[in-house]
Structure 1
Amino acid sequence: MLFSLYKYLESIDFPGAGMFQYISFRSGMAVIFALLIATIFGKLIIRLLQRQQIGEVVRDLGLEGQYQKKGTPTMGGLIIIISILIPVLLFGKLDNVYIILMITTTIWLGLIGFLDDYIKVFKKNKEGLAGKFKVIGQVVLGLIVGLTLYFSDDVVVRMESPADASTREIKTEQVEQSQETKYVKAPITNVPFFKENRFNYNSLLWFLGDKASEWGWVIFVLAVIFITTAVSNGANITDGLDGLATGTSSIIGATLGILAYVSSNTIYADYLNIMYVPQSAELVVFMSAFIGATVGFLWYNSFPAQVFMGDTGSLTIGGIIAVFAILIRMELLIPILCGIFLVENLSVMIQVSYFKYTRKKYGEGRRIFKMSPLHHHYQLKGYSESKIVTRFWIMGIILAVLTIVTLKIR
Structure 2
Amino acid sequence: MLYNLLYPLSEHFILFNVFKYITFRTIYAIITSFIIAIVFGPKIIKQLKTLQISQKTKGYEPERHKEKEGTPTMGGLLIILSCVVSTLLWADLRNYYVWIVLYVFICTAAIGLFDDYIKTIKKNPEGLSPKSKFLAQVVVAVTTTILIIWVDKSNIATKLYFPFFKHLIIDLSYFYILFAVFIIVGTSNAVNLTDGLDGLAIMPTVISFGTFILFTYLAGHIKFSNYLHIPYVAGSGELAIFCGSMVGAGLGFLWFNAFPASVFMGDVGSLSIGSALGTVAIIVKQEIVLAIVGGVFVIETLSVILQVGFFKATKGKRLFRMAPIHHHYELKGWSEPKIIVRFWIVSFLLALLALSTLKLR
TM range, smaller chain = over 0.9
- Choose from 163, 176, 190 the match for 1:192: 163
Instruction: Name 2:178's counterpart in structure 1.
Output: 222
Q: Distance in 1 between matches of 2:48 and 2:202?
A: 19
Cα distance, 1:3 vs. partner?
Answer: 2.0
Task: Please list every run of 5 or more consecutive structure 1 residues that lacks an aligned counterpart in the other structure.
Answer: 158-183, 202-215, 360-364
Q: Distance in 2 between matches of 1:62 and 1:324?
A: 33
Q: Distance in 2 between matches of 1:149 and 1:319?
A: 14
Instruction: Name 1:402's counterpart in structure 2.
Output: 353
Q: Is 1:370 paired with 2:321?
A: yes
1:325-360 per-residue CA deviation (whole Å, 9 max, x = no partner) reads: 00111012222121111111111111112112222x
Q: Distance in 1 between matches of 2:59 and 2:160?
A: 45
When residues 142 and 62 of structure 1 are mapped into structure 2, their CA distance, relative to the original with a 3 A threshold, is closer
Matched residue SS, 2:94: coil
Q: Distance in 2 between matches of 1:335 and 1:106?
A: 19
Letter of the 1:399 counterpart: L
Q: Distance in 2 between matches of 1:5 and 1:408?
A: 38
Q: Distance in 1 between matches of 2:7 and 2:251?
A: 31
Letter of the 1:344 counterpart: E
Instruction: Name 1:165's counterpart in structure 2.
Output: none
Q: Distance in 2 between matches of 1:62 and 1:143?
A: 33
Q: Distance in 2 between matches of 1:369 and 1:229?
A: 25
- Choose from 373, 376, 383 the match for 2:334: 383
Q: Is 1:287 paired with 2:238?
A: no
How does 1:314-353 map onto structure 2 within 5 Å? 314-353=270-309
Instruction: Name 1:6's counterpart in structure 2.
Output: 6
Instruction: Name 1:205's counterpart in structure 2.
Output: none
CA contact (8 A) 1:64 1:379 kept: no
Q: Distance in 1 between matches of 2:145 and 2:270?
A: 22
Letter of the 1:38 counterpart: A
Q: Distance in 2 between matches of 1:119 and 1:313?
A: 15
What's the TM-score once normalised by structure 1's chain length? Answer: 0.85
Letter of the 1:55 counterpart: S
Q: Which stretches of structure 1, 4 residues or more, deviate above 6 A after TM superposition?
A: none
Q: Distance in 2 between matches of 1:137 and 1:400?
A: 30
Cα distance, 1:48 vs. partner?
Answer: 0.7
Cα distance, 1:200 vs. partner?
Answer: 1.6
Instruction: Name 1:68's counterpart in structure 2.
Output: 67
1:6-50 per-residue CA deviation (whole Å, 9 max, x = no partner) reads: 145345x24622221111221111111100011111111001111
Matched residue SS, 1:66: helix
CA contact (8 A) 2:97 2:148 kept: no
When residues 312 and 296 of structure 1 are mapped into structure 2, their CA distance, relative to the original with a 3 A threshold, is same
Q: Is 1:32 paired with 2:36?
A: no
Q: How much identity, in percent, do the aligned residues show?
A: 42
Instruction: Name 1:139's counterpart in structure 2.
Output: 138
Letter of the 1:5 counterpart: L
Greater Rg, structure 1 or structure 2? 1
Q: Distance in 2 between matches of 1:374 and 1:130?
A: 23
Letter of the 2:297 counterpart: F
Q: Distance in 2 between matches of 1:377 and 1:321?
A: 26
1:150-176 per-residue CA deviation (whole Å, 9 max, x = no partner) reads: 223xx233xxxxxxxxxxxxxxxxxxx
CA contact (8 A) 2:159 2:176 kept: no
Letter of the 2:66 counterpart: Y
Matched residue SS, 2:64: coil
Cα distance, 1:222 vs. partner?
Answer: 0.8
Instruction: Name 1:118's counterpart in structure 2.
Output: 117
Letter of the 1:116 counterpart: D
Q: Distance in 2 between matches of 1:247 and 1:320?
A: 16
Q: Distance in 2 between matches of 1:387 and 1:352?
A: 26
Q: Distance in 2 between matches of 1:99 and 1:272?
A: 24
1:41-98 per-residue CA deviation (whole Å, 9 max, x = no partner) reads: 1111001111111110023336253122110000000000001000111111122110
Aligned residues: 361
What's the TM-score once normalised by structure 2's chain length? Answer: 0.96
Q: Distance in 2 between matches of 1:65 and 1:295?
A: 26
Q: Distance in 2 between matches of 1:131 and 1:378?
A: 26
1:359-390 per-residue CA deviation (whole Å, 9 max, x = no partner) reads: 2xxxxx11010000000000000000000010
CA contact (8 A) 1:145 1:224 kept: no
1:116-157 per-residue CA deviation (whole Å, 9 max, x = no partner) reads: 0000000001110111111112111221121112223xx233
CA contact (8 A) 1:3 1:20 kept: yes
Q: Distance in 2 between matches of 1:401 and 1:87?
A: 27
Cα distance, 1:258 vs. partner?
Answer: 1.1
Q: Distance in 2 between matches of 1:194 and 1:7?
A: 39
Cα distance, 1:191 vs. partner?
Answer: 0.9
CA contact (8 A) 2:76 2:266 kept: yes
Letter of the 1:199 counterpart: I
Q: Is 1:310 paired with 2:309?
A: no
Judge which range, 342-351 or 377-386, deviates more. Answer: 342-351
